[in-house]
Chains A and B, each alone.
Chain A
Amino acid sequence: MIVRVILPGALTDFAGGQRELNVEHPEPCTVADVVGSLAVTHPALTRRIVDETGQLRRFVNIYVGLDECRRIGGLAAVVPSGCDVHVIGSIAGG
């Protein structure tokens, strides 16, 4: 399956200027699988999403469709076929 990963503007410099990346991974595919695939192709991008222990950074949210991944199993959450993954900086200003 191919997962479309949508990035915030602040991270496009680390994705070759692209706002979207396609990640190919066999089903079943989890958020961790998507992140792991990105780590191979875009390490500078990935280390801004997860730290070196693999933990999702505190102020980074990953949405699987409309669900923030922490509410549906964290990095182990399954990404259904055809579902986009959004990486979004969380609210941290008010």
Chain B
Amino acid sequence: MQEAPYPHVVRIAIGTRKGLWTAVGGTDGWELSQPLKDMAEFAAVAWMPRPDAPPRLLVGARSWFWGATVMTSDDLGRTWTDPEHAAIAFPADTGAAIERVWTLEPDPALPDVVWAGGEPHSLWRSDSGGESFALVRDLWDHPHRSNWMAGAGGPALHNVHRRPDGSTLVAMTGSGVYRSQDGMTDWEPANRGISAVFMPDEDPEYGQCVHRLAVDSADPTRLYVQNHGGVFRSIDSGDSWVEISAGLPESEFGFVVLAHPARGGTVWVIPIRAETMLPANGELRVWRSDDAGDTWVAQGSGLPDDFYAAVLRDAAHVVPYGSDTALAFGTRNGHVYISLDGGHTFTEVARDLPDVLSLRIWPA
């Protein structure tokens, strides 16, 4: 049997609080670019596939002075397109202004369609590969919106998942998980069983502070969330959730949850302590489950001890790599690590960057 093409090299887009970098490498080592963009934070980065061409690199950029926007590059970050008229801006009748683009997700099935999550809580759709976005109005006009709350980072829609049946799941701070059958209308909360330890009613219909959502690759009805207060699993597309934190250290907090891109039931989290937002015991570890969260194993070979920084929600990514995965993440003290063997061993890709806010891997 012929082996599948083995991508010896991957490219990583690294968005930080003060600039954008890429790194290229693999088993033979890593090369970090010079800053491709500076004087702005990059809370969202994405690679969009293009036929017979390098991927388009999209970034959600925000200057503290000059505001937020989405820019694109078709030459791996050497030159950029920033439209005259803002790629992403609220319609005038909303009275709102885009504060930050928290996530950019190319649609897995529709060419040139890109989804964006924004602050304040908002979902956006682009049909032009990220050159311009339209507000998904039905979610913006949702009757719950006036009750959605901000997290410490702001009122963010930070996670978008399109599923094979065309339905869409989003995750938001201070609001929870919402889903829509057609991705545009009929939005409903899907939080039953996810705790809201910061509210008098700890099991509200909505208002949970979900930090990250992942969809199982083998069974898209199986979902995982890293919540502000535990890790949870649903086996019914979000109709109900159960906590799967048992076995994790300091399990009440964290930002990252990643589902294996090909193997059902395999999922990773990076727990941190709620009180300090630092890794438990000062040990940077990735915790892996191969049974959908029933049991967990720490993976830390190559990762440091005496480590006192968090990993943020969009600063981790996993893609297929050879017969396994490439799993990378960046930390708030500017280190980037990657594993090319499913998390068993990690290698340092970069260090001493500004706070890493976002990270996406592309098989180069």
* Chain A contact residues, CB within 8 Å of chain B: 10-11, 43-44, 47-49, 51-53, 55, 57, 59-60, 89-90, 92
CB distance B65 to A10 under 8 Å? Answer: yes
**Smallest Cβ distance from B106 to chain A, in angstroms?**
25
Residues of A within 8 A of B86 (CB): 47, 52
CB distance A44 to B82 under 8 Å? Answer: yes
**Smallest Cβ distance from B226 to chain A, in angstroms?**
31
CB distance B97 to A44 under 8 Å? Answer: no
Contacting residues of chain B (88-107) with chain A, CB-CB under 8 angstroms: 89-90, 92, 95-98
Q: When chains A and B are docked, how far (Å) is the Cα of A57 from the Cα of B63?
A: 11
Residues of A within 8 A of B66 (CB): 10-11, 48-49, 57, 60
Say if the beta carbon of B35 comes within 8 Å of chain A: no
Q: When chains A and B are docked, how far (Å) is the Cα of A40 from the Cα of B277?
A: 46
Contact of A59 among B65, B82, B97 (CB under 8 A): B65
Asked whether A47 and B89 contact (CB < 8 A) given A52-B97, A52-B98, A53-B97, the answer is yes
List the 6 closest pairs (A to B, CB-CB), nearest first: A48-B66, A51-B97, A52-B89, A89-B65, A59-B65, A44-B84
**Smallest Cβ distance from A59 to chain B, in angstroms?**
5
Residues of B within 8 A of A11 (CB): 66
CB distance A57 to B67 under 8 Å? Answer: yes
Residues of B within 8 A of A49 (CB): 66
**Smallest Cβ distance from A92 to chain B, in angstroms?**
6
Residues of B within 8 A of A48 (CB): 63, 65-67
**Smallest Cβ distance from A90 to chain B, in angstroms?**
8
| Chain A residue with the shortest CB-CB distance to B85 | A43
| Chain B residue with the shortest CB-CB distance to A90 | B65
CB distance B82 to A52 under 8 Å? Answer: no
Asked whether A52 and B65 contact (CB < 8 A) given A43-B84, A43-B85, A44-B83, the answer is no
Q: When chains A and B are docked, how far (Å) is the Cα of A92 from the Cα of B92?
A: 29
Q: When chains A and B are docked, how far (Å) is the Cα of A42 from the Cα of B96?
A: 22
**Smallest Cβ distance from B194 to chain A, in angstroms?**
33
Residues of A within 8 A of B67 (CB): 47-48, 51, 57
**Smallest Cβ distance from A70 to chain B, in angstroms?**
16
Contacting residues of chain B (315-363) with chain A, CB-CB under 8 angstroms: none
CB distance B64 to A52 under 8 Å? Answer: no
CB distance B98 to A59 under 8 Å? Answer: no
| Chain B residue with the shortest CB-CB distance to A53 | B97
Q: When chains A and B are docked, how far (Å) is the Cα of A92 from the Cα of B18?
A: 14
Asked whether A53 and B95 contact (CB < 8 A) given A10-B39, A43-B84, A47-B86, the answer is yes
